[in-house]
Amino acid sequence: MSPEYLLTTFLVCLVPGIGVVYTLSVALAQGMRGGTWAAIGCTLATLVHMAVAMAGLAAVLHTSALLFQTLKFAGAAYLLWMAWGTLKGTGGLDVRAADPQPAARIVWRGVVLNLLNPKIPMFFLAFLPQFLAPGDGAREIAVLSLGFALMTFAVFLGYAALAASGREAVLSRPAILTWLRRAFAASFAALGIRLALERA
């Protein structure tokens, strides 16, 4: 992997999206433990999307309007449901201090949130070839994919650590908690609406 690939991957992972918002919200509610599991869930989804792109199924999504629309609206509906649950303080995504959620539930939600975005495998299909040389095969693609997944986990872990480090200060201020809960709900809703309006 070239330094250019690593730097580009880092910047791509750093841009806030569905996975970042989810990881931050879980880390604030559950601490570093919860944030770590959220990062793992988002990373697992990234690996699945990489496999989809490598198998060429992203091209199928691009040519099958029905499949694309089905996945897109399912993802948008799930994000809007997460927004409502966050706003109302239900569904395990309340920003306030809460009892620890089972690791499997945190991971599962992270996987589902990211899997229901059909744009991601198409992004990989367009992104990876820029760093491949003529004649490169499955091994080189797998190495780049693994590097992207590891970078995703590292960046999301950094976001989790940042949220967890300021958790006590945030939780001790009800006004900040209310603002954060609304901000996370608005973020999930905005991401859901943006996904619903995306075109193939």
Is there a domain that residue 88 lies in? yes
Rounded Cα gap, residues 27 and 158, in angstroms: 11
Residue 155 to residues 9, 15, 55, 104, 168: CA-CA distances in angstroms? 10, 10, 26, 21, 22
Confidence band (pLDDT; 50, 70, 90) for 47?
Answer: confident
Residue span of the structural domain in which 39 resides: 14-197
Residues, the chain, total? 200
Dump pLDDT digits (tens) for 87-124: 666 544 455 555 677 889 999 988 988 887 766 777 77
Average pLDDT for 35-54:
87
Is there a domain that residue 116 lies in? yes
Is there a domain that residue 6 lies in? no
Is there a domain that residue 1 lies in? no
Query: Rounded to 5 degrees, what are φ and ψ at 29?
Result: -80, -35
Is there a domain that residue 2 lies in? no
Q: Per the structure, how many domains does the chain have? A: 1
Dump pLDDT digits (tens) for 66-95: 766 776 777 677 667 767 776 666 544 455
Is there a domain that residue 150 lies in? yes
